[in-house]
A and B are shown apart, each in its own frame.
Chain A
């Protein structure tokens, strides 16, 4: 019996269902079978075996702030306590404050600014670049 030739769409539908037995062998069918075999085959390449560990390290590094909120709270409390002590001690002890050291800071303000900026830059490079490379 002469079977009606299937359209490309019908052919693809048959192969999608994995129903090859009912197909007459012809050039189109053979080509489509090769295409389907290739596209159904999993990739031989993949991610490295330590991939999950690398992701977890990155997540942990991101979650860990350089200075925790608790550290900041402690630093703030110590500073406030120090100022209170100074404000109480100065009138009691009648200490005359010598603020000439501020002149030294003012004269070297650019060096101080450059130093602070350099340290901040190194910190930024460490957090953005070096940690990423290490993971």
Chain B
């Protein structure tokens, strides 16, 4: 009886060995397991949707090329996240996008000045949608840390490894990002006079 290979249940080491041996299905599985992380990372840093898919492809092509050098010193997903982060930052540099804007309070509030006032922020869903739009306005490094922590359930050391920010900075960005979102939400709700 031929034993069916279950790629989904494989550990990182097994999957990597198969990819290195030229198993196309194993590589497909590796992509499927990590495409959400890569998309989150790229889409949080790169605004143009038309660039996002191509950059996600670039990430996995790079992963394939560099896989023989992967030494299992971290989780495979963390390593892939690091590549996605670097490729996104390089793209931002090339397209002269803002990478490290000022993070002083006044400068941060200035980012929301041109944000249109939502006409109605009545329901809970409306408010959630508003927060999601506000996320697009916060500095990129805040967006990345928020995404890795909340959507990818990554720990502080993992975020530190991917972004290169010290652990204290990761914690600080996370706290300040959530505080900023809460303050802006409050600002627009009061402006919309629903409370």
Residues of A within 8 A of B (CB): 8-9, 12, 27-28, 31-32, 34-43, 45-48, 51-56, 58-59, 62, 135
Contact = CB atoms under 8 A, between A and B. Distances in A.
Given A12-B178, A28-B182, A34-B124, A59 B61 contact: yes
A12 B27 contact: no
A14 B28 CA distance: 39
Interface stretch (B9-17, B103-111, B127-135, B162-170): B127-135
Contact of B56 (A39, A42, A51): A51
Given A52-B35, A55-B60, A62-B61, 15 more contacts: A37-B124, A40-B150, A40-B151, A41-B128, A43-B40, A43-B43, A43-B151, A45-B43, A46-B39, A47-B53, A48-B53, A51-B31, A56-B27, A56-B31, A59-B60
A45 B56 CA distance: 14
B175 A39 contact: no
B36 interface: yes
B167 to A, nearest CB: 16
A39 B127 CA distance: 12
Interface in B144-195: 146, 150-151, 175, 178-179, 181-182, 185-186, 189, 195
A35 B181 contact: yes
B32 A39 contact: no
Contact of A55 (B61, B128, B181): B61
A48 B57 CA distance: 11
A58 B27 CA distance: 13
Q: Which of A32, A47, A48 has its CB near the most chain B CB atoms (within 10 A)? A: A47
A35 B185 contact: yes
Contact of B39 (A12, A35, A47, A62): A47
Nearest to B179: A8
Contacts of A35: 131, 178, 181-182, 185
Q: Which of A8, A36, A43, A45 has its CB near the most chain B CB atoms (within 10 A)? A: A43
B58 to A, nearest CB: 9
A51 B147 CA distance: 21
A46 B195 CA distance: 34
Nearest to B126: A34
A59 B40 CA distance: 22
